[in-house]
Amino acid sequence: MAASKFKMFKSLYYKDLRETRAEVLIVAITAIVSILWVWAKTEGDSRMIIMVPAVALMGLAGLLPIITSFRLLGREWGHNTIYLMMSLPISGAMMLGSKLLVLLTEYLAGTLLVGIISSIAIFISFPDLVPELSRQADLILMIKILISLYAASIAAIVYLFSCSFLSQLCGKLFPRASGLITLVVFLLLLIAPGKLSPEWSWNLSYPATDIASQIGFIWIYTGITLVFALLLLAASIWIWERRIEL
Amino acid sequence: MIEFKQVSKRFGSVVALDGVNIHFPKGSICGLFGPNGAGKSTIMKLITGINYPDQGEVKVRGASPKAQRQLVAYLPEVDHLYPWWNLAQAARFMSVFYPDWDEGRCKELLSFLRLDEGMILGKISKGQRAKAKLLMVLSRRAPYLLLDEPFSGIDLLTREEIAHALIKGYREGEQTLIISTHEIDEIESLVDQVVFIDQGRIQLQSDAEQLRMERNKSLVEIMKEVFRNGSQQV
């Protein structure tokens, strides 16, 4: 009887998920403590300052999974569990895919927690905010903008995870200079889209004159980022399956 | 059947294997003997598919090792299980990936090896970790069992326990067991086939019983003789 691929994936996912518990907890506790602290120190309109820790915490919730991505893969070598991983009858796609999903879970959990906690604090502080906003602007459009920006952030973080995987695996190909190669490849992969983007992003965004078109551009940008992320992931899988040795 | 044909492997300037030809017959217990750095672990890794030959080919049941990973139960020299796992978690994880996992056998061996499924791998002694690794291998009905230095750094009593567990857990005729070690004493009586390797070259490959009869010596004595006198391909 063949082993279920879904069960294997689930098993790999839950094995790595425990690595992210501490980070999600840190983000949640910091969010609650800092927002409560700002709440206690302010009153009236000045409570809008809650947005400052909220934005900073969003950054933290985005940064921690990137750090985790280095720990999650690097740890396999550090603990010699790479011997177990590489001898399992599974593909590189399943191995790296499960790790990617774990990191994405950490990002979603962290950002959603910060978003929910700060939104609750703001809506309690300013109960008239939603009716006021709906009078002044198109709420549906605002929600569409938020969703498209969040989707773009997810694509960007997936790209960063793929950069992290590819750079680490490139580093493992050169054991004597593993750390240096990882750093150089990671930085190159970070710089590359910046060098490439002015050309194509300008061409794509140029015709966009209204907000709806700008949202459309964000979605196109999200799609392109995801394609690049998947290309890097495919390269990582290829290295994992064909080049990594112990 | 596992076959090596003219296999060579280098790690930088170090030659790990040099034109090695080996044939591990089905259903036998093979001892892969040699000093540290002889190339024993490289042979194990090539069979598992976690290393690739630079030249030559390795076949497991006629296919590439990577394609046959589900047929191989591998015990590496290093501690390869997650240190925060307890034995029950490790066993559950393995059972998901290998349909040949035998839960009944696992429970039986757990008690035989005096282990507890609540034991956390990072918090137990080296001997217990060695037994835990063995448990993960012997609980499978895999056609090929590869044990890389199962006795390394283990005290005498635990070595005996491991050797007894091997006798208990091995399914004669059904499984091919390959044990690499430089400590022959514990398994001298178990092996059917022997391969002596040094500096990446096969020094001697033969049927264990036939070798003992021909030379009227123990495997330990034969090994000393082989490594002292150099290449004696049989």
Instruction: Quote the CA–CA distance of B74 and A80 in Å, as a whole number.
Output: 14
CA A218 remoteness from chain centre: 17
- Nearest CA to A24 among A79, A103, A136? A103
The answer, yes or no, to whether residue A91 has pLDDT greater than 80, is yes
Please indicate whether, in this complex, the C-beta atoms of B93 and A11 are within 8 angstroms of each other.
yes
pLDDT at site B232: 47
Determine the distance in angstroms separating the CA of A181 from the nearest CA of chain B, rounded to an integer. 18
Please indicate whether, in this complex, the C-beta atoms of B45 and A81 are within 8 angstroms of each other.
no
Please indicate whether, in this complex, the C-beta atoms of A81 and B80 are within 8 angstroms of each other.
yes
pLDDT tens-digit map of B124-154: 999 899 999 999 999 999 999 999 998 887 7
> What's the half-sphere exposure (Cβ side, CA atoms, 13 Å) at B38?
23
Please indicate whether, in this complex, the C-beta atoms of A84 and B72 are within 8 angstroms of each other.
no
pLDDT tens-digit map of B21-50: 999 988 899 999 988 889 999 999 999 999
Chain B contact residues (CB < 8 Å to A): 45, 48-52, 69-70, 72, 74, 76, 78-84, 93, 96-99
Question: Cβ contacts (< 8 Å) between A90 and chain B: which residues?
Answer: 97
Please state whether beta strands B55-60 and B2-11 pair in parallel, antiparallel, or not at all (unpaired).
antiparallel
Please indicate whether, in this complex, the C-beta atoms of B50 and A86 are within 8 angstroms of each other.
yes
User: Residue A160 — left, alpha, or beta (φ > 0 → left; ψ -120 to 50 → alpha)?
Assistant: alpha
pLDDT at site A84: 96
pLDDT tens-digit map of B56-93: 999 999 999 999 999 999 999 999 999 999 999 999 99
The residue with tokens 């915490």 is A57
What the block records as the tokens of B22 is: 């080996």
* Contact of B194 with B224, CB cutoff 8 Å: no
Per domain, the residue ranges of chain A are 8-136, 137-246
Residue B233 pLDDT class (50, 70, 90 cuts): very low
The residue with tokens 């696992």 is B106
**Cα separation values, A180 from A28, A65, A67, A111, A176, Å:** 34, 21, 17, 31, 9
The domains found in chain B, sorted by start residue, are 2-229 (3.40.50.300)
Name the percent of chain A lying above pLDDT 90.
60
Please indicate whether, in this complex, the C-beta atoms of B97 and A11 are within 8 angstroms of each other.
yes
What's the CA dihedral at A235, A237, A239, A243 to 10 degrees?
-160
Chain A residue with Cα closest to B73: A87
pLDDT tens-digit map of A100-158: 999 999 999 999 999 999 889 888 888 888 788 778 777 888 888 899 999 999 999 99
What value of ipTM does the predicted structure carry? 0.92
Phi, psi torsion values for B11, nearest 5 degrees:
-120, 95
pLDDT tens-digit map of A200-217: 555 655 555 677 788 888
CB of A7 within 8 Å of a chain B CB? The answer is yes
Sheet with B14-24, side-by-side order of all strands: B14-24, B2-11, B55-60
The SS3 of residue B80 is coil
